[in-house]
Structure 1
Amino acid sequence: MVRLTVDLIAKSSSHIRKKGDRSLPDYLRRLTHLNFSNRSIVDIISRISNLGFACRLTHLYLQNNCIGRMEDLCQLQCLAKLYLGGNCIAVVEGLERLTKLKELHVENQRLAPGEKLLLDPRTLLCLADSLRVLNISQNAVDEVWDLGVLRGLTHLSATDNLLQHVQDLEEVFSQWPLLQRLDLIGNPVCQKPKYRDSLITACPRLEVLDGKEINDLSRQFLVNWKASKEASKEASKEASKEAGKRARVERALAAQAPHHPFLTHLDTALSRGAVLSCSLANSLPRREPLKGPGPHGLPRPPDPSHNSATRDHSLALALRASSSPGLCPGALGDSNAL
């Protein structure tokens, strides 16, 4: 295993050939690009302080080593591009002073089973305005809420992760007005219905999604479709509100109706009329039907006048009672008087 030190830089033939006649300290102060990919560097954290001399360093390549933590990189305040893919980093942190960092590549970290890459909120907040490119592919990432502050992003690569919910992506990506390229291939969310349509409408400046270009005609169609859908949803919501209001008013009227004086008086009158009609109908004398044989010795037919007269008499009593609410059963006297 190797540690990153000044001596390692000095012994690197690729750098020594470039320094020419300059002294080593002078050369190191002027250094802008440093490439130590695939060198099995063990502990960049405790040794990265040795790069404090490289105040002009803009590009740092440390892919495919054994780096486990990120600290003390804050000394590289001119750093614009940082490549740390293929290491063992579980938390992206310690970049609070790198206000000029434009690209951060931390893809494919060798994490323990069940772990996922985390990004420190303080680091993300400090990179919110400067960071343009972020690569977090193949890191078991299952949500992107913390990335919402990166409003300056133009390119996000998050392939082969565990992202699942289209709505969550819409809410976060809609906060990035400059987003032009988005790569999410290999996530479960890519199989969801309307996944592509939803992200295109959520990101107004998106040009490429999962390697496929987005033409203006397709975008305009989807924007119009979304606007129509939202208008229909809003109309349905308003109709539902109105229906709810009407239902509440009807319930309120129904609750108050039994206590209205006029309705109470009318109900009482009708009830008394019904009672009187039943009572009087039962007290009427019954007309005996004609008995004996009819003409020519044939059976006599039933007398229709009997039932009709009784029915008419009862109806007249009921109508009179219902039109006089103050009457009571005793006030009518003998039924024969009617």
Structure 2
Amino acid sequence: MVRLTVHLIAKLGSHSKSSRSESFQQYLRKLTHLNFSDKNIEEIDDLSVCRNLTVLYLYDNQISQICNLGFASNLTHLYMQNNNISCIENLSSLHKLSKLFLGGNSITVVEGLEELKNLKELHVEGQKLPCGEKLVFDPRSISCLSETLCILNIGKNNIDELWDLAPLRKLTHLFAADNQLHDIQELETVFSQWFKLRLLDLSRNPVCHKPKYRDRLITVCKILEDLDGKQINELTRQFLINWKASKDAKKKLEDGKDNKQQMTNPLTTSADFHLGPQHPSAQERSSFMSKLSENEKPGVTFRTDQVQADSRGRGTRGDYSTEWQALKI
């Protein structure tokens, strides 16, 4: 087992090139950058003497656990991608950490980040997940990162929705390529809350094949500069915004006309003939007919029987005469 120890630092470090008058302990205390990438390291030993360490490179190793970093209160950059880490832990004392690289590990839950009050970049792309599983996010960590996180890389993690990331309203860059995002309306809802988003990469997601995919996202993301690796022309953005505004206004006008027509209730509509006796319109017509009967002249009678026709199709003279006399009164 290869362990990262102060002796390994002494063996592979640059202390031999420094001044001979400086002791190894003094060298370790002044050390700010430490690069032990691709050294088959499996475990981190006690490095507490390196109290001024700010940047630590440990990528491309065999590390399975994040540990023994409690001393590194000045650490700002931690590179641990392409290891065997399965759990994000033991980072609570790294209050100055601004960039964390954990891509290419075996992490299934993004968690344990509640105390990282200055974290601006988080890279967790390409996790080695069990078949059929996706990377998920602890709401507590996301909530605590909502005021600081600017860059997030979650590519290639079988992610099919972004609802849990909606609180990250300070994001300027989102890398989410090679996932399973498919709901364009969900993306529009989430992105409409990210007012600072300037770069967005959703390439090779199912949603990219939706009609008007690019136009819709450019319209929602007001200051987006790059979508899926293609720059956005400001004239194009303004045209799409104006086009959407015109379309929405036209739809609102049409909806208003429809509502106005629905409020109109003419008496001649066929539906009125099927109204029940208690319906207001039925009662109004009943009152109207009553008044009409009261205004009829006395002695006037109207025939309700049909005019009888002779064999030649003409009505009899007596029938016509009777009706004519009635009409003359």
Q: Same fold (TM over 0.5)?
A: yes
Corresponding residue for residue 188 of structure 1: 206
Q: CA RMSD in A?
A: 3.3
Q: Offset at 1:259? A: 3.5
Residues 58 and 276 (structure 1), Cα distance of their counterparts in 2 relative to 1, 3 Å cut: same
Quote the residue 2:35 is aligned against. Answer: none
More helix by proportion, 1 or 2?
1
Structure 2 counterpart of 1:167, one-letter code: Q
- What residue is the counterpart of 1:164 in the other structure? 182
**1:266 shift after superposition:** 2.9
* 1:243 aligned onto 2:261: yes
The separation in 2 between residues aligned to 1:117 and 1:58, in whole angstroms, is: 25
Alignment-derived partner of residue 67 in structure 1? 85
CA–CA distance in structure 2, aligned partners of residues 315 and 149 of structure 1: 86
Residue of structure 2 in register with 1:13 after alignment: 12
Q: Residues 253 and 165 (structure 1 numbering): CA distance in 2 closer, same or farther, change over 3 Å?
A: same
Q: Distance in 2 between matches of 1:60 and 1:310?
A: 110
2:217 aligns with one of 188, 195, 199: 199
Distance 1:278 1:228, change over 3 A: closer
Mapped pair 1:39 → 2:65: no
1:24: Cα distance to partner?
3.3
Match of 1:310 in 2: 319
Question: What is the one-letter code of the residue matched to 2:51?
Answer: R
Partner of 1:329: none
Which runs of 5 or more residues in structure 2 are unaligned?
Answer: 32-49, 273-278
Which of 261, 266, 276 is residue 292 of structure 2 equivalent to?
266
Letter in 2 for 1:316: Q
Residues 117/309 of structure 1: CA separation in 2 closer, same or farther (3 Å cut) = same
How far 1:10 sits from its partner (Å)? Answer: 3.9
TM-score (norm 1): 0.77
Residue equivalent to 2:76: 58
Matches within 5 A, 1:1-338: 10=9, 13-14=12-13, 21=22, 22-24=26-28, 27=31, 28-44=50-66, 48=67, 50-247=68-265, 254-260=281-287, 262-266=288-292, 277-278=303-304, 307-317=316-326, 319=327
Between the aligned partners of 2:124 and 2:17, the Cα distance in structure 1 is: 29
Question: Which residue type is aligned with residue 312 of structure 1?
Answer: S
SS state at 1:52 partner: coil
User: Structure 1's 181 and 246: CA in aligned 2 closer, same or farther, altered over 3 A?
Assistant: same
Pair 1:268–1:33, CA change in 2 (3 A): same
Distance 1:216 1:314 in 2: 82
Radius of gyration: which is bigger?
1
CA distance in 1 between counterparts of 2:266 and 2:115 reads 60
Superimposed CA distance per residue, residues 238-295 of structure 1 (whole angstroms, 9 cap, x where no aligned partner): 11221221249986763332332x423436999xx9996257989xxxxxx9xxxxxx
Deviates more, 1:187-196 or 1:69-78: 69-78
**Residue segments in structure 1 that go unaligned for 5+ positions in a row:** 283-288, 290-301, 324-338
Native 8 Å contact 2:15 2:27 kept in 1: no
Letter in 1 for 2:282: A
TM-score after normalising by structure 2: 0.79
Aligned-residue identity in percent: 46
Aligned residues: 293
* Change beyond 3 A, Cα 1:14–1:313: farther
2-structure distance, mates of 1:112, 1:98: 28
